[in-house]
Amino acid sequence: MEPYRIKVVEPIPVTTRVQREQALRRVHYNLFGLRADEVTIDLLTDSGTGALSAAQWAAGMAGDESYAGSRSFYHFQEVVRDLTSYPCILPVHQGRAAERILFSALLTPGQITVSNTHFDTTRANVELSGCQAVDLPCPEAQDLDSSEPFKGNVDLYRLEEALHRPDASRIALVIMTLTNNGGAGQPVSMDNLARAATLCRKHGVPLFLDAARFAENAWLVTQHEPAYRDMSPRQVAEQAFRLADGCLMSAKKDGIAHIGGFLGLRDRALAERCELLLIATEGFPTYGGLAGRDLDMIAQGLTEVTDPRYLQSRAEAAHHLARLTRDAGISIIEPPGLHALYLNAGRLLSHIAAHRFPGHALACQLYLEGGIRSVELGSLYLGQEDENGAPVTTAPYELVRLALPRRTYGPGHLNHVGEVLAAAVKSKERIPGYRLVEQPSLLRHFRCKLEPVPS
């Protein structure tokens, strides 16, 4: 059971099917356009959507809003140093700001970053620095149905090969994303991380963690990596941070905060360069774009998030929803992670071609059937068409992500999601594909307009 009880509640909107049909038409079938008031269960993201604890709200009240030298900062710094071992801690308003600052300070155009999988903002920030982001996911990740426990690993063979190639001097950085969000939320084993760290050290390349979900990764390590079975998630997390030269952190995930993040660094000279960019673009180094109360809330969240009882109940929620999904007849990327389930919409809606966006079609149907908001991760997100709408590139898989906000939805909500999934499967032959009618030149999935194309 969940290791907490509920003190504050928030009503959730209930809408009729007719209202949802109208809402979908109004937003041109783009779920990012919906008002939150039109969504009953919002599984769009687990980022910044968690419920704070009483202790976090109390910590917020005690926050010190001094511009320079805030008491909240020194507390935050102590907590983060203790967890990560990095001497230099720079607060930022969210994870992508840490990415922008680190890459601006560290990368020069033409260089390469290598990762198990770059998250999309990480990739975008690498590319904005004039560099190339190379993903080397492990081969096991390609089998969506296998229940191998560490499908988030980096391919060590290809990493070593890359570090030996003639252009290896262009590799500026290796980034391990824990858990691997771009790779279906699959975890990275400590063995894989330690071997990647050894390779990086041997070749003089810094290793960074994208630690947004470090506690969930550590929990899965204690469950599936025999050498770590007797360790606490906190001990595993501490070890993971100690294998790297620094970290990028979005505290909106495993900080259980609504906003915030930080950059952790061992290299003091690099930290000084980052600090200048921080002052110019985020704020003075003792607040970094956050309020003092945010720093205290994050510090408290970081101490709560490695509680094994909390992590276990989160894993059980994900497994419960995974069972409901399989029972409804929908395959997911196995095994289920903790922060999200990834539905295989391409397999379910095989009558819809990739350039008619089966993932998007399923996401719209889940909204129509029961007010559930999810996000497509398929050809709408990753593909491209020519001016006549014919596919130029399509995504390798047509997926829908159901993200699980932390401490927010209980078993009753998940059962509702299960019923809606079953209803969508019942009508699957009648689910239409979609055609783009308008798209911006960049990051089209956020703002594009679509219309249904009856199959």
Catalytic residues: 67, 119-120, 210, 212, 253, 445
Nearer to ligand F0G, 79 or 404 (CB): 404
Among positions 42, 210, 216, 296, the unique one binding ligand F0G when judged by CB under 6 A = 210
Among positions 96, 293, 314, 445, the unique one binding ligand F0G when judged by CB under 6 A = 96
- The yes or no reply on residue 344 touching ligand F0G (CB under 6 A) is no
Shortest distance, position 45 Cβ to ligand F0G, whole Å: 3
Q: Within positions 102 to 161, which residues make up the interface with ligand F0G, using CB under 6 A?
A: 119, 121-122
Distance in angstroms (rounded) separating the CA atoms of residues 372 and 12: 12
Among positions 30, 40, 47, 300, the unique one binding ligand F0G when judged by CB under 6 A = 47
Query: Do 212 and 264 contact (CB within 8 A), yes or no?
Result: no
Shortest distance, position 119 Cβ to ligand F0G, whole Å: 4
- The yes or no reply on residue 49 touching ligand F0G (CB under 6 A) is no
Neighbours of 29 (CB within 10 A): 24
CA angle 130, 142, 96 (to 5 degrees): 35
**Residue 104 burial by CB count (10 A; 0-12/13-18/19+): exposed, middle or buried?**
middle
Binding residues for ligand F0G, rule CB under 6 A, total: 15
Residue linked to tokens 């079975």: 229
- The yes or no reply on residue 379 touching ligand F0G (CB under 6 A) is no
Shortest distance, position 96 Cβ to ligand F0G, whole Å: 3
Helix pair angle (17-26, 358-370), 10° resolution: 140
Distance of CA 295 to the CA centre of its chain: 21
List the end-to-end C-alpha distance of the chain, in Å, as a whole number.
Answer: 44
Query: Do 400 and 376 contact (CB within 8 A), yes or no?
Result: yes
Shortest distance, position 42 Cβ to ligand F0G, whole Å: 12
Q: Within positions 230 to 259, which residues make up the interface with ligand F0G, using CB under 6 A?
A: 250, 252
Nearer to ligand F0G, 321 or 425 (CB): 321
Residues 6 or more apart from 130 whose CB is under 8 A from it? 107, 108, 109, 110
Residues in the chain: 455
> Which residue is nearest to ligand F0G, using beta carbons?
95
Alpha carbon distances (Å) from 296 to 23, 63, 175: 39, 6, 27
Beta-bridge partner residues of 262: 91, 249
What token pair was written down for 185? 């939320």
- The yes or no reply on residue 72 touching ligand F0G (CB under 6 A) is no
Shortest distance, position 430 Cβ to ligand F0G, whole Å: 30
Nearer to ligand F0G, 260 or 285 (CB): 260
Please tell me whether residue 237 adopts helix, strand or coil conformation: helix
Q: Within positions 1 to 40, which residues make up the interface with ligand F0G, using CB under 6 A?
A: none
Shortest distance, position 149 Cβ to ligand F0G, whole Å: 19
Binding site for ligand F0G (CB under 6 A): 45, 47, 94-96, 119, 121-122, 177, 181, 210, 212, 250, 252, 261
